[in-house]
Structure 1
Amino acid sequence: MMKMQTNHRPYPLPIRPWIMTQTWNDVFFIHWPVDFDDIRDKVPKPLYIDTFNGRAWIGIVPFHITDFKVRDIFSIPFSSAFPEINVRTYVTYNNKPGVYFFSLDAGHWMASVAARTAARLPYFFSKIDVAKKNGIITYKSSRQDTNRLDGEFEGSFSSDHTTYKSEKGSLDEWLTERYCFYTTYRNKLYRCDIHHEKWELQKAEGEILTNTLVSSQGITLPDDKPVFHYASRKKALIWPLIQVRK
């Protein structure tokens, strides 16, 4: 069982048992500041859009999942390993900061369907290629779902290999240390709790060649260079969805 180090969390672990684990690999956090008003109508009203120094943030996070297991049972055969790219912003509800996903692209059809149904999240099936060469990691994704939002992404990224943990109150911490996500279904609000040890981050850089994941949501990113972070590997525990607002 994963060692429960919890002093870095902003609120305690849930009392109820977690139900699954995942390991996240070659995680790149790519972030842009945006105006609060630009995304207010894109996020369900019960959620308050979180800000840092007065700005909201949009993140694109490509990574690949391994060791996707149900607690004490087995690896899930059809989805134990696959790449994913999510588009997200940051929100709070009842003083619990978390993530709100605009979209999640998964490189396995059955995994995307199962996650869309079980987690009530906007998952899409995409062809996602992940390549590593000479210290550069490339993610290339093309959405395969028909009659769904356009979504293409391609970028190449690298890191400086020096790890650090974010300082309390820093932008690094604010962007990466999130321990739940929120979603809605039939006008009801749900939360899914997550736990992992604090990220061992690396400074990173990259080049984005194609990105319609955000514009397909009706959101325009600024021309500013994004803020990059990288983490090589992190095991996470995941709890079942709970309804937090009728």
Structure 2
Amino acid sequence: MTQRWNDLLFAHWPVPPAAIAPLIPEGVQVDTFHGSAWLGVVPFWMDRIKFRGVPPIPFTSGFPELNLRTYVREPHSGAPGVYFLSLDASSLLGVLFGRAMYRLPYHWADMRIEQRREREFWFASRRRMTAPPVLFSARYRGLGPTRRLVESRPGSLEYFLTERYSLFTRDRDGHAMRANIHHVPWPLEEAEAEIEHNDLAAAIGIRLPDIPPVLHYSRRLAVYVWQLDRVRAARSPRPIPAAAVPST
């Protein structure tokens, strides 16, 4: 599947790994940076959506989306990836395809994104058919690229949060699934944001810390997503035969 993501805000908070661990499937583990797991809220709009071998899907040419994500690692291969805790989209067909093809926890939502100025946006979402309502609204703006972000390197927080080329989810039986992702490195900018409502974390039982989030903006990125494969189960240690144990 190919798609293009546009005008993204990345808002991230550090959270205790123990808060995330019960929410991810067996077969992956919470990935941490300086001892903290990270929870990200990402509003954006997508377009140029195409499934390989499938004709263009009506009413999915472009729509707003909002995701709540964390970061995990596959113990067997060490591959770092993204784990989506929830995704909201304004396209019902997009929601149905995302649930059916990628087992992702999509929700149908009323959404609006408005461009106020160059690199400045207002985004609002209200999840449908939920009580109490799950709301998100924010004003955000990109402040332009900086040398520090353009030259982001392994070991930086920006690299940890964005340079991930797998997404993980779970199948109907709760087993971890993985899809490979390809894109160029994220063209990140510094950002400012006023987040007016944010119910996403509370909706899954996580309390965000009372600190400002780490903010980034990205203008546009093309993303390629491959099919899902089941994550290999970690092998249990094999017992060593008594005959192979050296005598003292």
Q: What is the TM-score of this pair, normalised by structure 2? A: 0.86
* Residue deviations 1:138-188 (CA, integer Å, cap 9, x gap): 1100001x2578421000101112252422221011111111111111122
8 Å Cα contact 2:71-2:83 kept in structure 1 = yes
How far 1:98 moved relative to its partner? 0.3
1:43 is aligned to 24
Residues 143-162 of structure 1 correspond to what in structure 2 (within 5 A)?
Answer: 143-144=127-128, 146-147=129-130, 150-162=133-145
1:128 is aligned to 111
1:109 is aligned to 92
* Residue deviations 1:198-228 (CA, integer Å, cap 9, x gap): 1111000101100111101000000110000
Percent identity, aligned pairs only? 40
Matched, 1:141 2:125: yes
**One-letter amino acid of the counterpart of residue 143, structure 1:** R
Distance change >3 Å, CA 149–CA 243, structure 1 → 2: farther
Matched, 1:70 2:51: yes
1: CA distance between counterparts of 2:94 and 2:16?
A: 33
Query: What is the root-mean-square deviation of aligned Cα atoms in Å?
Result: 1.6
2: CA distance between counterparts of 1:62 and 1:165?
A: 24
2: CA distance between counterparts of 1:192 and 1:209?
A: 33
* Residue deviations 1:16-68 (CA, integer Å, cap 9, x gap): xxxx2101000111100011112221222322100001110000011111100
Residue aligned with 2:144, SS: strand
* Residue deviations 1:54-102 (CA, integer Å, cap 9, x gap): 1100000111111001237643323121111000110001201001111
Q: In the alignment, which of 179, 182, 188 is matched to residue 165 of structure 2?
A: 179
1: CA distance between counterparts of 2:153 and 2:8?
A: 19
8 Å Cα contact 1:149-1:216 kept in structure 2 = no
Q: What is the TM-score of this pair, normalised by structure 1? A: 0.87
2:241 is aligned to none
Structure 1: segments with no counterpart, 5+ residues? 1-19
Residue aligned with 2:80, SS: strand
Distance change >3 Å, CA 134–CA 100, structure 1 → 2: same
1:5 is aligned to none
8 Å Cα contact 1:105-1:125 kept in structure 2 = yes
2:196 is aligned to 209
**One-letter amino acid of the counterpart of residue 103, structure 1:** S
Matched, 1:100 2:86: no
Structure 2: segments with no counterpart, 5+ residues? 234-248
Greater displacement, 156-165 / 103-112: 156-165
The structure with the largest alpha-carbon Rg is 2
